[in-house]
Every structure is written in C-alpha cells, then in structure tokens.
Copies of this chain bind each other. A is one copy, B any other.
Amino acid sequence: MYLVKVYVMYKQSVLDPQGEAVKGAVHRLGYSEIEDIRIGKYFEIKVAKSETKIETTIEEICDKLLANVVMESYHYEIQEVS
C-alpha cells in the first residue's frame, strides 16, 4: 500500500483570489506581519500495489481529475506504508 500526498496550487502567474481574500481577513484581525497567503488543495490517497507504476497512476489521476492543468500545477510525495 502507498500513501500519496498530492498538492495542487494555482500557478505562480495566476491570481489567487481566495488567498487574497483570506489575507485581507487576516490583516483585519490585526496580523499585519502576514505578507502573502496562497491556498491550494491537498489530497491524501491510499493506493494498493498493482502492475501499473504508482507514478503513472497518480499523474494520470491528477491530469484527468484533481488539477486543472491550465491554471494549476501539482506535486506529490509517495510513501510506502505496507
């Protein structure tokens, strides 16, 4: 079994409206030392071992479903758990 952690974020060139909104709220709460906030999606995926290479499976799922590859980029970490 693998535990795969996937991080999906807006590309650097894309404005992150949610991040801007949260940054505004944080500043209104008085935390002026917060300089930037970027928000993304985080997935923890348990994958049973199979013939297919785990990287291939994860990248296909990310490209097809988890990330909008036009505006978002993703990276992942694979841990073998059993």
Contacts and interface: CB of A to CB of B under 8 A. Distances in A.
Interface size class of A (residues with CB under 8 A): 20 to 34
B45 A36 contact: yes
Contacts of A57: 31, 33-34
17 contacts: A1-B35, A8-B42, A22-B43, A29-B64, A31-B61, A33-B48, A33-B49, A33-B52, A34-B46, A34-B47, A34-B48, A35-B47, A36-B44, A36-B45, A39-B41, A41-B41, A42-B42
Given A8-B42, A9-B44, A39-B43, 14 more contacts: A9-B42, A29-B65, A31-B57, A34-B45, A34-B48, A35-B46, A37-B43, A37-B44, A37-B45, A38-B44, A40-B41, A40-B44, A41-B41, A41-B42
